[in-house]
Amino acid sequence: MEPIISIEHVTFRYADATDPALVDIDLSISEGSVVGVVAAAGAGKSTLAALLSGAAPHHYAGEFFGAVRIAGADTCDVSLTDISRTVASVSQDIDAQMVASVVEDEILFGLENFGVPHDEIEGRLVSALENVGIADLRDREIATLSGGQKQKVAIAAALALRPRVLVLDEPTAALDPVSSRSVFETLRRVNRDHGVTVIVIEQAVALLSAYCDRVVVLDHGRVALDGGPREVFAQGTRLRRIGVDSPRCARISNSLAAEGILEDPLPALDVASALAQIDRILRAHGVEPEPRATGAARPRVRTAAGAGEPGPAPRPAVLELSGVDFRYPAGGAGVSDLALTVRAGEIMGVVGQNGAGKTTLTKLVNGLLKPSRGSVVAAGMDTVSVPVSKLATRVATLFQNPDRQLCQNTVLDEVAFGLMLHGTPRDEALERARAVIDRFGLPAAEAPFSLSRGQRQLVALASTVVLDPALVILDEPTSGLDYRECMTVMGTVREMAERGCGVLMVCHDMEVVSDFADRIAVMADGRMLACGPSHEIFSDADLMARASIAPPNVIDLAARLAAEGYTAFAGIEEVSGIVDTVKELIFHD
Amino acid sequence: MTNVIDYLPGETVLHRLNPVAKLALAACIILATFLAQSFPALVGLLALTLCMGAYAGSLERLLALLKVLVPLGVLMLVLQTLFVRTGTPLALGITDEGLASGARTALRLLGVALPLILMLTVTKLNDLANACVEVLHVPYRYAFTFTTALRFVPVFSQEMNAIMEAQTARGVEYDTRNPIKKLRLMLPLCVPLLISSVGKTDACALAAEQRGFYLRTRASSYKRYPLRALDAGALALGVALVAAAALL
């Protein structure tokens, strides 16, 4: 069958760049498939999306070699408008791509423009909304919707045009895990029921592996790997070198395979199949699960070593919230009765759905919002009586979007800026900034805005590290970063904690939270549901359900293995813990 | 987050008018405000706008806007009063004519700003654009540019707020009480705001093109915007207001 899109030896260089963004790409995409594209930052993912939607070469000028054929037509020969009849796209910036202020008008826009007969419009409008599951949002103002809802509006607006291909550039970058999954469920339904080819560019490998039937990995503008998700994620070591993460279950399978224990050549991608694989291995080695005697009560024994329990003498608290209420004057979700203590040297993760009040919590801590009841004491200062600019000398914040934080002409000035604001003499500030910049390997003389997204995040982080704060607040520190950048950022955060800084981290990525947080606070509907050591929180299935959080795969797997009767797995949080336990069980018996 | 020009849903006569008729009525009130010389007329026009706002349910918005405009009006009053030298002196070099002309300027400022805002709160931006294209034969690209600009105002002000918050949390003294110092601190933020604005505008243009922007004609709109008797009534009222203001 003729592929719906074929990319033939395409090399593309943006007009203002010296190196090509894509080099000799050769891909053909068959109709009806769901293709995931993953890559390290700056490896050409967004350029590939632009190529597929015709935005390159029509919207982005540059040098274009080779040919892209969409439904047989060369994209260089037909106009962008005509390409859009076949390929609809959803871009990264949810807000900027909206052309109307009401959901209904947003969907009408394309239908009207492409001259859909007016007697068909109502039907197309309704079916697009229903397919995406947002029929109830028809008359809503787009500005009042959540990120996940907006994303679905963008998908519905694209689908109303009945495209044959849907291209999405990082649709879940700003969404919580539940909304992300719901967006991917929508894509799966659209693909299954309407045969729409879906191409999705994404960092979230766990979602890609669960929903795509083909995964393409880009490395420095070239296709490095291309195949079914199990074949691709079997190459964990190579992926890591490229800067791409693997799903945790695949990591377990790959480690077991590397130890020569796993016979199945392909890795498990989800918890259920990892469970089956390990069960098979154990039984093959004669390890039988213990009969499920009592069933309910699971022992909570931690086998993996790690920080978590406070040491003998608790360290001083750097953040104390007690009985904190806050309501926004214009209405909207506030928070009530928050109590939380973060000690020096501790990493406290805050998890919960979008709208649970996490961002409000961070703003209460750095003083941008003042509690209407209760008290917030950060680094020994009461946020009500101390001005924000004074608090900022000891309490640093790293915002989700680094671009809002950066304002200087060079990286060096940017990093030194905070120090100078707090009264450090210029020479000393520059010297300290230089030391941090060297440690991060950043280009000191470059303009921050000319750097990549990940590097800008590092610059923003460097300008908080240099302050040597008593408390640092991180709002989604890893969103939009690739695996390698994520590890650099989180490694730095851990170093800061080791030097005695308290860390309050809001994060959607449960794997990151479980890897790095010592304790976790769970929020829902503006309240604090629970706070405790990460393994206890994540293994509390009831709590996870109330907060609509999916526990990290490894913790889930360990809990399910323990429930099966392999009690040795109870309480394990890390990939290596699972692998070591499997080895112990089969070699010691 | 609500903004002054956000649409307030409703079923009142003002909501149901053709967007072009609303625009015309607002323009007439503004024109009348410029023409009117007497205080009763100026106050009357302002009261009319506020009454319509109360009827359409947007009084709260208008009053919020008044809170911002009244100090500006007072400033105009003071300046005019100080600079106009003709007429009979009253006290401290202030003349009766100066006071009268200052008061008129202040009232006009309020009377000119409110009708348009009122009109926008009872009209969906897309209806406004489509009706202008259909009834007034405005080229769609201009109508789209205008409504997109209005739509982006709150987006950019949110972005600016977020940037200010981020900078405040870094220790920049935006919580200072000195407005000049605050303004000086805000200037460097134009760079990040400009960069994100250019990016957003570009993304919006691309998205519009990919959804057939260039194919759009006057007949494209699904909804129709005929002028009805009600609209003729609104237009007549507008013309009558202008005539009355000019003659009285």
Residue-range domains of chain A with CATH: 5-235 (3.40.50.300), 250-300+554-588 (no CATH), 317-552 (3.40.50.300)
| Shared domain check, B202 and B104 | no
Indicate whether B97 and B143 sit together in one domain.
no
| Domain coverage including residue B106 | 13-131+226-247
Q: How far is CA A577 from CA A50, A207, A256, B8, B124, in A?
A: 42, 23, 12, 57, 58
Asked which of A16-20, A358-362, A480-484 is least confident by mean pLDDT, the reply is A480-484
Say whether the peptide bond before residue A57 is cis (omega within 30 degrees of 0). yes
Average pLDDT over residues A9-27: 92
Helices of type H across A270-410 = 271-284, 358-365, 388-391
Residue A221's pLDDT is what? 93
Return d(Cα B54, Cα A258) in angstroms, integer.
74
> Do B35 and B121 fall into the same domain?
yes
Interchain CB distance below 8 Å, B168 and A121: no
Percent of chain A with pLDDT over 70: 95
- Do both B231 and B124 map to the same domain? yes
Assigned token pair, B9: 């849903």
B47 falls within a domain: yes
- Same domain for B152 and B203, yes or no, is yes
Average the pLDDT over each of A354-363, A438-447, A448-457, B126-135 and give the range with the smallest value: A448-457
Our CA angle for A498, A504, A508, nearest 5°, is 115
Is B234 a member of any domain?
yes
Q: Which two tokens stand for residue A519?
A: 């304790």
Nearest-by-Cβ selection for B222 from A100, A118, A406: A118
How far apart CA A343 and CA A139 sit, in angstroms, is 47
pLDDT for A313:
67
**Region A529-552 average pLDDT:** 89
Q: Identify the pLDDT of residue A548.
A: 84
Contacting residues for A41 by C-beta, under 8 A, at least 6 apart: A243, A452, A453, A454, A481, A482, A485
CA distance A81 to chain B (A): 6
User: For position A153, what pLDDT does the model report?
Assistant: 94
Number of domains within chain B: 2
- pLDDT exceeds 50 at position A329: yes
A291 secondary structure, DSSP code: P
Q: Is A172 on the interface with B (CB under 8 A)?
A: no
What is the count of residue pairs from A and B with beta carbons less than 8 Å apart? 162
pLDDT at residue A304 in the model: 41
With b meaning 16 or more CB within 10 Å and e meaning fewer, what string describes A306-344?
A: ebbeeeeeeeebbbbbeebebeeeeeeeebbebebbbbb
pLDDT > 90? residue B210: yes
Same domain (yes/no): B22, B119:
yes
The mean per-residue pLDDT over the stretch A207-225 comes to 94
Give the model's confidence band at A312: pLDDT under 50 very low, under 70 low, under 90 confident, else very high.
low
**pLDDT of A239 over the 90 cut:** yes
Q: How confident is the model at residue A354, as a pLDDT? A: 79
Q: Domain for residue B5, yes or no?
A: no
Structure tokens at A578: 């699972």
Q: Does residue B48 fall inside a structural domain? A: yes
> Rounded mean pLDDT of chain A?
89
Q: Both B182 and B242 in a single domain?
A: no
* Interface test mutation site (partner B, options A101, A104, A167, max chain B beta carbons within 10 A): A101
Angle at A524 between CA A520 and CA A528, to 5 degrees: 50
B66 with B29, same domain: the answer is yes
Name the residue among A157, A186, A162 with its Cα closest to residue A172.
A186
Same domain for B117 and B31: yes
pLDDT value for B79: 85
Residues 53-92 of A with CB under 8 A from B: 53-55, 59, 80-81, 84, 88-89, 91-92
Residue numbers of A between 454 and 493 with CB closer than 8 Å to B: 463
pLDDT score of A25 more than 90:
yes
Question: Which residues of chain A neighbour B1 with C-beta distances below 8 Å?
Answer: 143, 330, 332
Mean pLDDT of A92-119: 90
Ramachandran assignment for B47, one of left (phi > 0), alpha (psi -120 to 50 degrees), beta (any other): alpha
Q: Which residues lie below 8 Å from residue A251, measured CB to CB, with a gap of 6+?
A: A236, A267, A575
**Residue B198, in any domain of the structure:** yes
Phi then psi dihedrals of residue A23, to 5 deg: -125, 120
In a shared domain, residues B20 and B99: yes
Asked if the structure places residue B105 within a domain, the reply is yes
- Residue in B closest to A389 by C-alpha: B171
- The closest CB to that of B211, out of A93, A109, A392, belongs to A109
A34 touches chain B (CB under 8 A): no
Split at pLDDT 50, 70, 90, the class of A308 is very low
| Residue A302: predicted pLDDT | 43
Query: Contacts of residue A419 in chain B, CB cutoff 8 Å?
Result: none
**What is the model's pLDDT at position A292?**
61
Across residues B219-240, what is the average pLDDT? 88
pLDDT tops 70 at residue A184? yes
CA distance B196 to chain A (A): 8
Q: Domain check: are B41 and B158 in the same one?
A: no
Tell me, yes or no, whether B149 lies in a domain.
yes
The pLDDT tens digits of the residues spanning A161-173 come to 999 999 999 888 8
Which of B165, B170, B173 has the most A C-beta neighbours within 10 Å, making it the best mutation to test the interface with A? B170
Whether B207 and A108 lie within 8 Å, measured CB to CB: no
In a domain, B189, yes or no: yes
* Of the partner residues B172, B195, B203, the one whose CB lies closest to the CB of residue A97: B203
Distances (CA, A) of A334 to A329, A356, A498, A526, B63: 10, 9, 33, 6, 26
Inter-chain touch B209–A110, beta carbons under 8 Å = no
Give how far A525 is from chain B: nearest CA, Å: 18
Contacts of A282 (CB under 8 A, 6+ apart): A288, A289, A566, A582, A585, A586
Mean pLDDT computed over A182-210: 92
Q: Which residue on chain B is closest to A469 by alpha carbon? A: B170
Do B124 and B20 sit in the same domain of this protein?
yes
Which residues fall within 8 angstroms of residue B200, CB to CB, at 6 or more apart? A93, A95, A96, B152, B155
pLDDT for A378: 94
